Copies of this chain bind each other. A is one copy, B any other.
């Protein structure tokens, strides 16, 4: 077999994969997000990666314009491109089984058939939380509160949650005479502000048929700045009578007032009129989240209110609001910036070293004692490998403690504990209670 020509072991572009220490950190972040969502009462769901193409792409336009991966087979199956459309399908399918408001979280991979480029992935994790059947602005305000809770738990530095409202934007566009059919296209251009040259965006808007004056007024509008109360004052002063505009203004104002009641620090959120979220399904509040020092990479947690998401599947009204952390991208950015403390490449806290075949049963007893005390433990199980090489392995793996079981130790019912960080070494009794106390102390663990 091994004489056959080799296939180079490699991945296609845009498919991220991590080394073990990095992966442990990624998993810790994922677990933190799950715990944070559940702390706020969101329940997990896990839908299939493969959905019927007809169902997945029921909704025209919007994010569905994303290139998707279809699969070969006897049915028209497509890999999901987000977790929002599968959620809409899920709540429509089980609407009679679920209790509303339905608060769900979902952390899973999604796929997009894009051209791979640096930092742009074709397979990545999204970590979504949404409330379906959310009939008050308090739910809109809860979204930044949950983002705030989770990002505090993630402890990856400062962040700013920017809030806007699609009705306000649409109302403004109407007030300057833009055709409602063009709102979505125009908002997609707005989304590019801060990422692309104004001249380019301006050109694109001209191409859409906007005139110079409309563009100037639009730019002036989205650039309204100041404290939230200053922004609201300026918006009032515009004196725009459009009904949608007024509804959006009230919603945005109420939501921001409510966010404060959730205990979110005023430093962590603000109104930003340039946040548009170019997705067809948003109908009210929209959110983007920027990490301090990483503003240029774009939003790491985005979302909004969608009042008609499940309308392609059911007549039941299921208004929802939620957001999604793009964890793969966030993780990759933080890793690139060396802002993360990558843990050891193994969960093992203790390695039991052996000296010959005969010492293995003794080593296994010790390992079982430690594992029963919830201490992650591995035993080096190759009796042909000498102690020096075993220690080098432990050192390379950054395992903090090595327990040595040689003939002397076995003869005296003891074991030698070496701290690979300090170099200290001590021979102690093998008796379970003594051993556990010693190891917990060395690991700096509360013996509970």
Binding site for B on A (CB under 8 A): 1-2, 4, 6-12, 15-20, 23-24, 26-27, 38-52, 54-55, 58, 69-73, 75, 77, 79, 88-90, 92-94, 97-101, 103-104, 109, 111, 113, 122-123, 134-136, 138-139, 142, 149, 258, 261-263, 308, 310-315, 345-348, 351, 360-361, 364-365, 368, 371, 374, 376-385, 393, 396-397
Are B70 and A46 in contact (CB-based, < 8 A)? Answer: no
Q: Which of chain B's residues has its CB closest to A310's CB?
A: B9
Task: Pick from B49, B69, B97, B382: contact of A109, CB below 8 A.
Answer: B49
Task: Pick from B90, B104, B381: contact of A136, CB below 8 A.
Answer: B381
Contacts of A15 in B (CB 8 A): 48, 50
Are A72 and B71 in contact (CB-based, < 8 A)? Answer: yes
Are B40 and A378 in contact (CB-based, < 8 A)? Answer: yes
Which residue among A16, A72, A88, A139 has the maximum number of chain B CB atoms within 10 Å of its CB? Answer: A72
The 7 closest A-B pairs by CB, nearest first: A41-B378, A2-B311, A15-B48, A138-B381, A41-B348, A9-B313, A9-B92
Least Cβ–Cβ distance between A67 and chain B, in angstroms: 8
Extra inter-chain contacts (17) besides given A6-B314, A50-B122, A99-B345, CB under 8 Å: A10-B89, A11-B93, A12-B52, A19-B97, A20-B44, A23-B43, A39-B376, A40-B371, A41-B346, A41-B376, A41-B378, A42-B347, A49-B49, A70-B71, A136-B384, A261-B361, A263-B364
Are B69 and A46 in contact (CB-based, < 8 A)? Answer: no
Contacts of A378 in B (CB 8 A): 40-41, 103
Are B9 and A314 in contact (CB-based, < 8 A)? Answer: yes
Are B44 and A2 in contact (CB-based, < 8 A)? Answer: no
Contacts of A40 in B (CB 8 A): 371, 376-378
Contacts A46-B23, A263-B368 hold; do A381 and B6 have CB atoms under 8 A apart? Answer: no
Are A69 and B73 in contact (CB-based, < 8 A)? Answer: yes
Are B136 and A308 in contact (CB-based, < 8 A)? Answer: no
Contacts of A26 in B (CB 8 A): 46
